[in-house]
Chains A and B, each alone.
Chain A
């Protein structure tokens, strides 16, 4: 299995809702990442998990809450989002060493109404 699987593919939520994005990989990768990508922009790093521990938080607002239950799963819990949080949310995984590159999922298209 050489894929990163993200669910759901599309999500529409209100500003008072609570929802979660899910990401799964079975490549034995030890690092997992959340990126946010706005239209016509490059991906921006949000969080990095290394060996199931949060190692990087790029000053992301607390309405985004990551969770790594085990080495294969990564969640992003969403609460009280704003319309400007609408974006494509990408999950990626890697072996944890810089030279190998990342494997990306196909993303969750989030719309906040």
Chain B
């Protein structure tokens, strides 16, 4: 069965600093991996996805993530944090043949001015 683990329920960074949100997956077969962002009282917005086409995936709002099979990781990064990046971030996984999406527990990103 597939699952994802997000290390750190809360991450704080200064404005302009590097953002690094961690996600590790557990899957017996190559997974599809996603990062979603959720602003307060809103739905989830897809930031980026890994579908085996390329290991470095670029998404919206300057975010990117790198799929590392040897580390079973799919960490989300952004070179320079902006105040508008403050939100909840969810890593998620699905697999070939499975029509559902499993979410990690989420990481709340705080950006300090």
A interface residue numbers (CB < 8 A to B): 4, 6, 31, 33, 40-43, 45, 48, 50, 55-56, 88, 90, 92, 96, 98-107, 109
Contact = CB atoms under 8 A, between A and B. Distances in A.
B98 A43 contact: no
Given A101-B49, A105-B43, A106-B42, A45 B32 contact: no
A48 B102 CA distance: 13
Given A98-B96, A101-B49, A90 B101 contact: no
A48 B98 CA distance: 11
Contacts, number: 63
A109 to B, nearest CB: 7
B44 A98 contact: no
Given A99-B51, A99-B94, A103-B46, 17 more contacts: A6-B43, A33-B100, A33-B101, A42-B104, A45-B100, A48-B100, A50-B99, A56-B99, A98-B32, A98-B95, A98-B101, A100-B49, A101-B34, A104-B43, A105-B43, A106-B43, A107-B42
B42, B43, B95 interface centre (most CB from chain A within 10 Å): B43
Interface residues of B, number: 25
Interface of B: 32, 34, 36, 41-46, 49, 51, 90, 94-106
A109 B98 CA distance: 28
A90 B98 contact: no
Contact of B101 (A96, A102, A107): A102
A45 B101 contact: yes
